[in-house]
Amino acid sequence: MGNRVEHDMAFIRQKGCIVSRWTCATVPHPFQNDSVSCGVFVCKYAECILLDKPTEFPAHNDAVKNIRRHIALTLLKESDDLQHVCHACGETEVDNTDTFPFTDLSFILVIILIELGQ
């Protein structure tokens, strides 16, 4: 790990950041057990770090599915209402003769997030 940290710190230093007071450490954390949940783990790690919580959380399959659902519901809850926005171009005035068959793509987002974890 040492070489990687040194490499990353050198890169950040080249970008003009002062890193002399930074410390690097490996914190206890769970590992993913599959090849499809990396996004779930990244989001959960970020949440833990931003909320100053321990980065240890259950990582078995059912727990990951629950975290995935929580992420999906949070995205839905915090999203803007896009019912009157064209999902293809982003315009608010749309010719209704050629619209996407779904009026709410956020519902599709939830289904995709849940199904990817199945």
When divided into structural domains, the chain yields a total of 1
The answer to whether the pTM exceeds 0.75 is no
Residue 57 lies in a domain: yes
Residue 73 lies in a domain: yes
CB 58 within 8 A of CB 30: yes
pLDDT of residue 100: 52
pLDDT tens for 52-105 read 999 999 999 999 999 999 998 898 888 887 778 777 777 877 565 555 555 556
Per-residue pLDDT at 18 exceeds 70: yes
Domain of residue 108 covers 30-116
Residue 68 lies in a domain: yes
pLDDT of residue 49: 92
pLDDT tens for 36-51 read 999 999 999 999 999 9
